[in-house]
Chain A
Amino acid sequence: MTYPRKHLLAIEGLEPPHLADLLDLAESYALLNRSGKTQRDLLKGRTLINLFFEDSTRTRTSFELAGKRLGADVINMSVSTSSVNKGETLLDTASTLNAMHCDLLVVRHGQSGAPSLLSQKVDAAVINAGDGTHEHPTQALLDALTIRRHKGRLEGLVVAICGDIAHSRVARSNMHLLTTMGSRVRVVGPPTLIPAESARLGVEVFHDMKAGLAGADVVMMLRLQRERMSGGMVPSAREFFRFYGLDAEKLAHAKPDSIVMHPGPMNRGVEIDSAIADHLTRSVIGEQVEMGVACRMAVLDMLSRQLPRNR
């Protein structure tokens, strides 16, 4: 089993065998987690630091749990971006972390490329837990694992990613991962929320939700990143829900056995109807969270294999 890099900064650039290996390993951790067993010797003596420059409950907790299940010492550091002066602390933080002999560093930052910058300055293996509007690699892995468990494969599936594509790192990582693994990826949203030249990333662009969902195996909804939107890219939440929110009527255009996903946290009634979000057979949103822990265990496991044995 191979992984070609020291860090996990992006999905872009990883090849099908690397992704397949990570997903297979994550699958085995999913089974282990369900069995109630742990593997606390794997990262024993290793230090994992969750460095979050942006608020997050779900991703941070997921990494924390993943680290603890593998026996690492886990420390959470939250750096409020409002109290410190922008990125200046980023490199100061790097030297602090080096002094702490951190082995695995999980970073979330509001700026695209911040984990990459940090990775050039720290000794630890860096895992990107979401940077600006760039990538969120572990989210794409957990989404792919969830899809694979339900559909048995990724190749040839029609996956519709819907909503605020422009401000979504989740969308970018998923576009890279799923196209690399042979899925047919569509992005669906109003033109103001579709990034420039999206088609060059190997996806099909739709502005009509029903057309975009037609025949889809997977419907992936995104959070409408209202807090990131500078200057009304959509006029109102009610208009957005009417044309791009997922409800039963729009979902009827997808395949009858299609699954519905959402990376959370959801804006119910903005991008997704509650009845769909809580649908017992179609919604796999709960399972995504479960697979998140398994995927992060796989990533920590894989990266730790390349760490020096002793400090």
Chain B
Amino acid sequence: MADTLITKARLLDPASGLDAPGALLIRDGLIADCGAGLTAPEGATVVDAAGSCLAPGLIDLRANLGEPGAEHRETIASAAQAAAAGGITTICVLPDTDPALDDPALISFIARRGEATGSVTLLPYGAATAGCAGKELAEYGLLREAGAIAFTDGVRAIASARTMRLALSYARAFGAFIVQHPEEPSLAAGGAATEGELATRLGLPGITPAAEAMLVARDIALARITGGHVHFAHVSTAAALDLIRAAKAEGLAVTCDTAPPYFDLNETAIGDYRTYAKLSPPLRTEMDRQAVVAALVDGTIDAIASDHQPRDADDKRLPFAQAEAGGAGLVTLLGVTLARVHAGDVPMLTALGLLTARPATLLDLPQGRLVKGAPADLVLFHPDRGWKVEAGKLPGKAQNSPFDGRALEGRVLGTWKAGRRVFGG
């Protein structure tokens, strides 16, 4: 493959704090050089970035891709298309599929399917418990050998304190962490929206926001007694973030992520029973949304994940309480994150770091940095160019965007996977 030189770019590397004009040279799938004053080698393809931003390809810490078992909602091929359009080059894939990813063969199957797309690396999570059923621990050692990055039951909370304790203890032997869906299940059962004035007005069964903080508090206590590493997914409330902030200050192995809906939308997005805005956890109050933004800035949150949950029309065209929760998130991950940058809430490098270097550090990946020798996984985007999210016209199969109708600034112009251009151009 010929060399590629991307010139006249604004290089953004959150790991080193670089934000400067320059060029980047791709050779043999790796970043061969980057900085100012690079010239194109003989025979190189030259891409003129015309001042657009060049950053490491996004690492999505959390997505469900529909395969295996829900191919009518999304397939790995269609998700790869959406990911490329969204500048995502690595996806951590949730294991609560049908069947669940609780067997080494399934773990390697997912990784192979990712390789076959040629555009996105898929890093599968292993099931925390057999069948993601919350009872017996899955085979962490064998799953880890097969390539599982960490263990989780996906959108199902590990409900039993005893099981969670065992999981956190046992995973230590294999250097893995446990990802929890932080929602106390007996309080969340049957709920469709955050408990409060809006749910009362709409006559919807509510889930108290305390259900999140409660499970976070329990699992922090379990991390303390086991020495295990717990990671809380899609954290959405001020109370839970306060607990996580304190646990980090204490030096415990506690990390967390959030997803764009929780810093861009509040509960009013469900408006007149808008099922596309029905998510799990449910959208919160404006006060909680602001707390999530603050936690992006102060470092409490370690990553922004797409939390992609593909749903088809039949899952969503139902009365609100009966509709499935979950939103498509791959295509909008960057744009919605940049909206916080444009609003002046989050600095550019901090925002990009949550999509690249910080998840890379969490997972110990070589990607996520603009550094010589790193894989040439890259995204080129124009930070101000506008576009409108239109469900029905998004790349990929899943169209259930909670951001349907939203105008965004920040458009992906090109995506490179291991040096090969997989989007734009």
Contacts and interface: CB of A to CB of B under 8 A. Distances in A.
Contacts of A90: 318-319
Contacts of A283: none
A230 B189 CA distance: 10
B204 interface: yes
B203 A109 contact: no
Contact of B314 (A88, A135, A195): A88
Contacts of B197: 196-197, 200-201
Interface in A74-116: 86-88, 90-91, 109, 111-114, 116
Nearest to A113: B273
Contacts of B162: none
B299 to A, nearest CB: 33
Residues of B in contact with A, size category: 20 to 34
A62 interface: no
A46 B413 CA distance: 56
Given A112-B273, A116-B272, A117-B273, A87 B319 contact: yes
Interface string A194-217: 011110110000000000000000
A92 to B, nearest CB: 11
Residues of A in contact with B, size category: 20 to 34
Interface in B121-162: none
A131 B203 contact: yes
Nearest to A199: B197
Contacts of A201: 197, 200-201
Contacts of B321: 111-113, 132
A133 interface: yes
B185 interface: no
A12 interface: yes
Grouping DSSP codes into helix (H, G, I), strand (E, B) and loop, the B interface class, with mixed when no group exceeds half, is loop
Nearest to B317: A91
Contacts of B205: 133
Nearest to A110: B319
A131 to B, nearest CB: 7
Nearest to A87: B318
B396 interface: no
Given A88-B314, A117-B319, A134 B203 contact: yes
B319 A196 contact: no
A198 B319 contact: no
Contacts of A88: 314, 318
A201 B198 CA distance: 10
A197 B318 CA distance: 26
Interface string B283-319: 0000000000000000000000000000000100111
A169 B318 contact: no
8 contacts: A86-B318, A113-B204, A133-B205, A134-B202, A135-B203, A195-B200, A197-B197, A201-B201
Interface of A: 12, 86-88, 90-91, 109, 111-114, 116-117, 131-135, 169, 172, 195-198, 200-201, 230
Given A86-B318, A112-B202, A132-B321, 12 more contacts: A87-B318, A87-B319, A111-B322, A112-B203, A112-B204, A112-B320, A131-B203, A134-B204, A172-B200, A195-B199, A201-B200, A201-B201
